[in-house]
């Protein structure tokens, strides 16, 4: 508990440093995701329902006879989840309990069908993660039946009191008495299962690397919005450089994802705003990861023989991403200094250039990361900023840029952007078969989900 409170305090402090809590990303969990959870959730639910049954006091004889009862198996043939507007999720399930009754004469096996109904509220936790809690839970019992092969004449007489005993243990009323022994309550078993889910959802706020010295952490800005079709989470990010949060430019426009975005029957739809792209490239620029040094050769009047050449490429201006329908671009304005080795092993500056290069961005998603590849769009614009060697023939410089500058720049950017930006995610849950769509001012990812332990 102290660790959770400490983390909550840390997050509050970070939010005050990071600026306005406008969501830069919207994650929309759709009905197809609930269907997927229904499929993979039956096994955990079956394990959670393996509760302990106390001894049954058999009064059929002259003396009270304690009889051990054990749940041998629980099968959940049906589990269905659906959204409840302004609340969260409703669960309905059927479970078949197989009980083994260890009598002195011979074991007896019973099968008891149970219908489980529960409502779960989805809210915002104190540390900026989704929190699920059981707000209502009910169980309806069917009639127990003896398995074929149990031909004891005592079975019918024993069936009624044993069934009454089991139902009393697995009763659906969460009273104070039941709360004292959670292992004997179906609803509390479901609640414990949900608490384990909350631990998993808490990994949303984990740190993810952006570059060698930069990280990103996501958090929810508001309580989830729940409709009959989906749950929407407004999510913002804190960007770290050398372990410290950077101050991001404030965006007065609140990002909202249109309701019709995403492909049909997709599990999750993620909307990423223009502001989020701008903030990420600002972090990369501040971290210096977009800078590079290029070694090449130069032939000019001042140097009749080919000389080793070093290009120092530095980004003083923040890269500008532009999102248009079906078109994502990146504009870089690097400052390039051209140097040659001097006689004393130092470098002599020949001239410097102000460069403007426009790049296309091809976006894709791999597991939990948004990746990009780049290519040069149009001609690279060059302007001589300074010269220590007199007149600079800009045509010769263009040839230099084409052979020495462009390819190393693209290789460097593609390697960096190929690492990708971590999308909002929790541990062991990955995006599956994602599609990326570029719209005016934002990007949409429509994807399935894949849970892998």
Residue 197: phi and psi, rounded to 5, are -65, -40
CA contacts within 13 A on the Cβ side of 132: 23
Residue-wise DSSP of 360-395:
EEEEEEETTEEEEEEEE-SPPEEEEEEESSS---HH
The Cα 271–Cα 183 span in angstroms is 42
Q: Which two tokens stand for residue 74?
A: 């629980």
The Cα 93–Cα 99 span in angstroms is 19
Q: Which two tokens stand for residue 239?
A: 């960007």
pLDDT digits (tens, 9 = 90+) for 356-407: 999 999 999 999 999 999 999 988 999 999 999 888 888 888 877 777 888 8
Q: Is 287 helix (H, G, I), strand (E, B) or coil?
A: helix
pLDDT digits (tens, 9 = 90+) for 285-302: 999 999 998 876 555 544
Give the count of beta carbons closer than 10 Å to the beta carbon of residue 253: 10
DSSP conformation class of 401 = I
Residues facing residue 271 across a β-bridge: 26, 444
The Cα 184–Cα 145 span in angstroms is 21
Q: Which two tokens stand for residue 37?
A: 């959870």
Residue-level pLDDT at 97 = 92
pLDDT digits (tens, 9 = 90+) for 15-63: 444 444 566 899 999 999 999 999 999 999 999 998 888 877 776 655 5
Q: Would you give per-residue pLDDT tens digits along the chain (453 residues)?
A: 444 444 444 444 444 444 445 668 999 999 999 999 999 999 999 999 988 888 777 766 555 677 888 889 999 999 999 999 999 999 999 999 998 888 766 778 888 899 999 999 999 999 999 999 999 998 888 888 887 655 455 556 667 777 778 877 776 444 333 333 333 468 888 999 999 999 999 999 999 999 888 999 999 999 999 999 999 999 999 999 998 998 887 776 889 999 888 777 899 999 999 999 999 999 999 999 999 988 765 555 445 566 677 889 999 889 999 999 999 999 999 999 988 887 776 888 889 999 999 999 999 999 999 999 999 998 899 999 999 988 888 888 887 777 788 889 999 999 999 999 999 999 999 999 999 999 999 999 999 999 998
Inter-residue contact 258 to 273 (CB < 8 Å): no
CA contacts within 13 A on the Cβ side of 344: 2
Residue 438: phi and psi, rounded to 5, are -100, 125
Residue in 401, 411, 413 with CA at minimum distance from that of residue 290? 413
Q: How far is CA 210 from CA 85, 165, 239, 320, in A?
A: 36, 58, 9, 18
Percent of the chain surpassing pLDDT 90:
55
Alpha helices (H) along 147-273 = 155-169, 176-179, 186-201
The Cα 319–Cα 440 span in angstroms is 18
Domains of the chain: 31-200 (3.15.10.10), 257-451 (3.15.20.10)
């Amino acid at each position: 508990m102290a660790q959770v409170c400490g983390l909550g305090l840390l997050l509050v402090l970070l939010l005050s440093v990071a600026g306005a809590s406008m969501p830069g990303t919207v994650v929309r969990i759709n009905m197809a995701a609930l269907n997927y959870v229904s499929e993979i959730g039956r096994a955990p639910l079956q394990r959670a329902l393996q509760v302990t049954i106390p001894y049954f006091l058999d009064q059929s004889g002259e003396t009270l006879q304690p009889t051990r009862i054990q749940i041998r198996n629980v099968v959940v043939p049906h589990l269905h989840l659906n959204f409840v507007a302004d609340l969260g999720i409703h669960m309905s399930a059927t479970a078949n309990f197989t009980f083994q009754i260890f009598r002195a004469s011979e074991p007896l096996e019973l099968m008891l069908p149970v219908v489980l109904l529960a409502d779960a509220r989805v809210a915002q936790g104190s540390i900026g993660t989704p929190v699920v809690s059981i707000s209502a839970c009910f169980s309806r019992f069917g009639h127990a039946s003896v398995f074929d092969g149990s031909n004891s004449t005592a079975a019918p007489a024993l069936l009624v009191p044993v069934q009454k005993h089991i139902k009393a243990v697995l009763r659906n009323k969460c009273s104070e008495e039941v709360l004292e022994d959670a292992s004997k309550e179906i609803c509390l078993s479901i609640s414990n299962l949900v608490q384990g889910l909350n631990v998993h959802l808490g990994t949303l706020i984990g740190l993810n690397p952006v570059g060698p010295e930069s990280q990103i952490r996501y958090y929810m800005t508001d309580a989830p919005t729940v409709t009959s079709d989906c749950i929407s989470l407004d999510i913002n990010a804190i960007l770290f450089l050398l372990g410290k949060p950077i101050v991001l430019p404030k965006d007065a426009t609140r990002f909202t994802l249109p309701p019709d975005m995403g492909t049909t029957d997709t599990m999750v739809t993620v909307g990423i705003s223009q502001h989020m792209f701008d903030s990420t490239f600002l972090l990369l620029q501040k971290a210096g990861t977009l800078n590079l040094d290029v070694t090449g050769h130069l032939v000019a009047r001042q140097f009749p023989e080919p000389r080793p050449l070093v290009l120092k490429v530095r980004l003083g201006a923040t890269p500008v991403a532009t999102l248009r329908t079906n078109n994502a671009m990146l504009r870089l304005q690097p400052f390039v200094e051209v140097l040659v080795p001097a006689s004393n092993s130092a470098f002599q500056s020949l001239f410097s250039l102000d460069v403007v290069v426009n790049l296309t961005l091809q976006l894709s998603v791999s597991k939990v990361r948004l990746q990009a590849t780049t290519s040069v769009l149009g001609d690279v614009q060059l302007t001589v900023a300074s010269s220590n060697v007199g007149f600079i023939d800009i045509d010769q410089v263009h040839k230099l840029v084409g052979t020495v500058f462009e390819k190393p720049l693209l290789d460097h950017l593609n390697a960096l952007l190929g690492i990708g930006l971590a999308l909002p995610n929790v541990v062991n849950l990955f995006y599956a078969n994602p599609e990326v769509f570029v719209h005016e001012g934002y990007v949409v990812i429509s994807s399935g989900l894949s849970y892998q332990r």
